[in-house]
Structure 1
Amino acid sequence: MKSPYFKTYSAKPADIEKKWILVDAEGEVLGRLASKVAAILRGKHKPEFTPHMDTGDYVIVINAEKIRLTGNKMTDKQYFSYSGYPGGERFTTPAELLEKKPAEVVRKAVKGMLPKNALGREILRNLRVYAGPVHQHTAQKPEKVTL
């Protein structure tokens, strides 16, 4: 017999309320920061979390150039890209990527912690990463969060 008291809640698009959240990455460990940012993007911190919908908030990450990696990951970890052509494999270390595009290191880490489907790609569009302390979202009045 089904109980009338335990109904599963599923958020509707009209129920979803998105906020802007500001995260300072200065001195933070990359993986720990990325997992917390991914959970906020996904909406897992909200009671109205629904797995098949984008219930998360917008996240702005500043000071991406001042991120930390533990151990020898700065030189031993490798990012892989393939152009599709023979001999088109490229390997980059976080140290090289931090010099060229510091924001990309954080974006790749967060992307790896999101679902590998259309919803994950949609959620990733709610992430803004900046290398320095300046961002262009002051009009949204982001709420500063310490992780």
Structure 2
Amino acid sequence: MGEKNKTCNKELSKQLISALELDLTDMKVTGKRILKTISELSENEKKELFSCNRFESDSRVYEGSFLDIVSHNINNNKVVNFILDEADKYGLADFQLTDKNNREQSTALHWLASHTCPEVLTHALEVLGDNANKALSIRDRNGNTPIH
């Protein structure tokens, strides 16, 4: 887990925000830009990216973990899966997430179970492996059937 209120360094924040805002009408383009941005980062920059929960540029501020922000802004399973893989390398796939209105607190797995398609959830479980047991009381997108 990252620090509770850690702001990402300005340069990295600008890279993320410019990738997100490249073309919000074309999620495929935005998704590819995000993947390219992440793949070009150093290991230290990736650690920074995945441990922060606030990203600022001159024009915009995003609150929430990187996974949270991308999940809310990009409806692209490949991108979310890639980010889960990257986050898990740093032990961060169980980040606490909130919904768009900052109401719900849940693990990344719980959030993915209720907000994305089964393929993404399945991939998340595969990524976490034995650590999936940490994410107790995960429910399906209807919120009523525990996933075992």
Which TM bucket (shorter chain)?
under 0.3
TM-score scaled by length of structure 2: 0.27
Whose relative contact order is higher, 1 or 2, with alpha carbons under 8 Å and at least 6 apart?
Answer: 1
Larger radius of gyration: 1
Larger fraction in helix: 2
Structure (1 or 2) with the greater strand fraction: 1
